[in-house]
Structure 1
């Protein structure tokens, strides 16, 4: 009877160790998969940040060009106003 109890205890221990080994392998595989997912997410985030930076840079360039065009329009309007004012003053002096 003791031999049966001892054999059952050894079998239970062996099964427990085998289960732990399989669990450790599964945990290792899960860890590797999680690390690969994290690396993929980091790569995606980096690509999105680079695209966003490029879009912001493009928008800034466009805004700069529009501001330069607006400044040229303001300068032209100021020159025209100055010329009109000078013509008005010259016209009043001549009368």
Structure 2
């Protein structure tokens, strides 16, 4: 049991050492600067997604408007067809 604890501790220390050796983009930057960069990146991505959603909503509204106009024209044609010939005189 003692051997397994030593092996586990050695493994964890080795993993931590390897993780510390990885080259990262944050060298020379403080935690606030790193967090700021991440926030900026997230804001840009959110902006892109919002723009795409707005474009899709705009297209859907245009399609709905076209369908409404089509139905209004059909209703107007039906009303003219069903109206008596002397109506409005």
Query: Normalising to structure 1: TM-score of the pair?
Result: 0.58
Q: How does 1:50-89 map to 2 (within 5 A)?
A: 50-89=44-83
SS in structure 2 opposite 1:80?
helix
SS in structure 2 opposite 1:93?
coil
Give yes or no for the alignment of 1:49 onto 2:43: yes
Structure of higher RCO (CA pairs closer than 8 Å, 6+ residues apart): 2
1:37 to 13, 31, 37: 31
Aligned-residue offset at 1:49: 0.5
The structure having more radius of gyration, on CA atoms, is 1
Aligned pairs, number? 60
Which 4+ runs in 1 deviate beyond 3 A? none
What is the CA RMSD across the aligned residues, in angstroms? 2.0
Match of 2:13 in 1: none
SS in structure 2 opposite 1:64?
helix
Instruction: Give unmatched runs, 5+ long, in structure 1.
Output: 1-32
